[in-house]
Structure 1
Amino acid sequence: MHPQLSVVIPMFDEEQVLPLLVDRLRPVLDGLDAAYEVVAVDDGSRDQTPVLLQRFRREWPELRVLRLRANAGHQAAISAGLSAARGDWLVTLDADLQDPPELIAEMMAVAAKGEVDVVYGVRTDRSSDTFFKRLSAKIFYAGMRSAGAKDLPDNAGDYRLMSRATVDAVNALPEHHRVLRLVIPSLGFPSESVGYAREVRAAGSSKYPIAKMVRLSVDSLTGFSLTPLRLATWFGLGGFLAAVGLLLYALIAKLTGLTVAGWTSTVVIVAAVGALQLLCLGIMGEYVGRIYTTLQRRPTYYVAYDSLSAGADERSRTRTHPAHD
């Protein structure tokens, strides 16, 4: 049966939280009175996550397992799920249960009532997060809006409901290392939002350390805005004006006989100019690297196994070679 709803869940080493997720998610989806599928994207897990997924799939026919050959990252795993999902509506949900699956029914109701393409889950209460997490999130959203992401909902992560038209538009985009929480608002499709209190992680540990958070921020900025390049231009212009000012000061000092050898000032000026140059080169390097990656046209992920295809192949073999008593 063609599913009306697909729920895409990226997973990486989630063996501890997976049973809790199934216990909470399945009753919610069974109560929607709509055909659905759950696309669990195993992003190269190294623990017992693949084994547990196969065990739950035998008991839960609507569970579909999509296994990637290697860890491709959170955003790439979501993209893999979006490409494979078949539903008329799609929900992206993390496995850690910090975003309550019970909100899916409300999202569906809001989409039907408001005739919108996207319903964002907005974290109106983040008291369960650490102070650093809340501060970094505030800086991220404020910085991205300053860089041009005017439609970015505040405190909206990757928990959202999307129409098939939205998903098709996202899948048609050619860019690599895309950050979906920026890409989807930039489409400009009609949207609404529902608020919720962010919960603590149900089990296990976070798979998003500081290094990945920084990488996500860099990908967000360089993949969405040209502001850093313009900033490098302004740095260059400011350095040129400062050099002209220093030149005039040196000429005046020479003419008035006030020249004094200043080791400290020389070192400070040289270090400052060198730091600005390296910063500008680094910014340009990020953009050149994205261009290089795009020109290579290498896939961001490789699918090793899809239980839907595997099941179809098995049924085909059964029909071709029926079992004999």
Structure 2
Amino acid sequence: MNRPSPIVILAPCFNEQENIINFLNSLKEVCHVLNGLFEIVIVNDGSTDKTSSLLRSFSLKSEKIKLTIIELDFNIGHQQAIFQGLTYAKSTKANQFIVLDSDGQDDVNLIPKMIKLKNYDIIHVVRKKRKESYFFRFSYAIYKIIFKIITGQSIAFGNYCLINRTVLNRATNVGFVHFPAFLSKFPLSKYYIEVDRHKRSHGKSKMSMADLLNHAIKSFIEYAEQLLVVCLWIFITLLLILVIFAIFILYEKLFTNNAISGWASTVIIGLFNGVLITLSSFVIGTQLLKNSYNQNLKNKISIVKNSEDVTTNN
């Protein structure tokens, strides 16, 4: 008799010694009352505290839940750690994959509801209200507006989601630098669950304002092709303005007696060169950066044993 396909629950972690055991116990309680098999995959992203030793000593003691730990030699970042976990998950027989954070902010009690929802490619968990500082909320609102204008997509969700194997295959084959932005690009069947996110169980967030800004920039990298089109339209628009301005100056010079300011031609040439160089550098840099990130991600695949044993990549 064939065993049913497991459901993979993936969570990256970095220096979560104060939260990781509570997180695993919470997952164990949720999975224990559900039907089916589960595999919990923890990606230890180069933690320098006691996270690794705590993970190695932890035992689920359950026949229906398996724990797999991916030990990374060094910290490669939250999004790359998710990619590592998804790359491993691709080798399993699972058809449903849940991604969430391990700091206690993502409510594991939503997992039964997510699993029950059928016929969706992606199930997103969306925050109802953010509890950060006013400055952070204001900055995040501006970011969402800019993201919407440039990409035409809304991104009000984070990493917490359930995806099917079709989405998993696309993510691991193409690669990504920003998981939520990557998921927002595709016209797939989606469902959104709105909840108030929990506070961290213990400790402080590892994300500084600089890290958050870097995270936001990466979301635009996922839309490199769309940015290319936007830049092209901006360039064409500015070019037309410059051409019209140049024609006006020539007309004034050839067909009227009006004096032409000496700086007019200098301004035209300077603006044209500046716009061309700036936009060209931005477009080329965006494309190269995306290709570089994707290549780096694909080169950092860890070797993991399919058991509760822990294997470190070398």
State the TM bucket, normalised to the shorter chain. 0.7 to 0.9
Amino acid at match of 1:71: N
Offset at residue 159 of structure 1 (A): 0.6
Shift of 1:55: 1.7
Q: Cα distance, 1:190 vs. partner?
A: 2.3
Letter in 1 for 2:66: E
Q: Where in structure 1 do 4 or more consecutive aligned residues deviate above 6 Å?
A: 265-271
SS in 2 for 1:162: strand
Q: 1:225 Cα deviation (Å)?
A: 4.7
1:240-251 correspondence to structure 2 within 5 Å: 240-247=239-246, 248-249=248-249
* TM-score, L = length of structure 1: 0.77
Write the distance in 2 (CA, Å) between the matches of 1:295 and 1:64: 25
1:237 aligns with 2:244: no
TM-score, normalised with respect to structure 2: 0.79
Deviations 1:54-92 (A, max 9, x none): 122376763221112322222221122122233332110
Is 1:193 matched up with 2:200?
no
Q: Percent identity between the aligned chains?
A: 21
Partner of residue 87 from structure 2, selected from 62, 80, 83: 83
Decide whether aligned partners of structure 1 residues 3 and 67 sit closer, same or farther in structure 2, where only a CA change above 3 A counts: farther
Change (3 A) 1:32 1:267: farther
Residue in 1 that maps onto 2:33: 31
Match of 1:319 in 2: none
CA gap of 1:19–1:88, structure 2 versus 1, over 3 A, is same
Instruction: Please name the residue that 2:157 is paired with.
Output: 156
Give the match for residue 315 of structure 1. Answer: none
RMSD value, Cα: 3.4
Structure 2 gaps of 5+ residues are none
Which residues of 2 match residues 1-325 of structure 1 at below 5 A?
A: 4-57=6-59, 62-85=66-89, 86=92, 87-109=94-116, 111-112=117-118, 115-126=119-130, 128-150=131-153, 152=154, 154-171=155-172, 173=173, 175-247=174-246, 248-249=248-249, 252=252, 256=257, 258=259, 276-290=275-289, 292-293=291-292, 299-303=298-302, 305-306=304-305, 308=307, 310=309
Equivalenced residue count is 302
The alpha-carbon distance between structure 1 residues 30 and 136, as it changes in their structure 2 partners (threshold 3 A), is farther
1:306 and 1:214, CA in 2 relative to 1: closer, same or farther beyond 3 A? farther
Question: Matched residue of 2:200: which SS?
Answer: coil
Letter in 2 for 1:73: G
Give 1:4 shift. Answer: 2.5
The answer to whether the Cα contact below 8 Å between 1:68 and 1:304 also exists between their aligned partners in 2 is no
Is residue 123–residue 195 contact of structure 1 (8 Å, CA) maintained in 2? yes
d(CA) in 2 for partners of 1:270 and 1:46? 54
Amino acid in the other structure paired with 2:71: R
CA distance in 2, matches of 1:186, 1:260: 49
CA contact (8 A) 2:41 2:70 kept: yes
Asked if 1 retains the 8 angstrom alpha-carbon contact of 2:67 and 2:308, the reply is no
Instruction: Tell me which moved more, 72-81 or 139-148.
Output: 139-148
The amino acid of 2:112's aligned partner reads A
* Structure 2 residue identity aligned to 1:97: G
Distance 1:212 1:301, change over 3 A: farther
- Any conservation in 2 of the 1:177–1:300 contact (CA below 8 Å)? no
Q: More displaced, 62-71 or 224-233?
A: 224-233
Change (3 A) 1:101 1:294: closer
* Alpha-carbon separation, structure 2, partners of 1:256 and 1:14: 76
Range that drifts further, 189-198 or 288-297: 288-297
| Structure 1 residue 278 displacement after superposition | 4.7
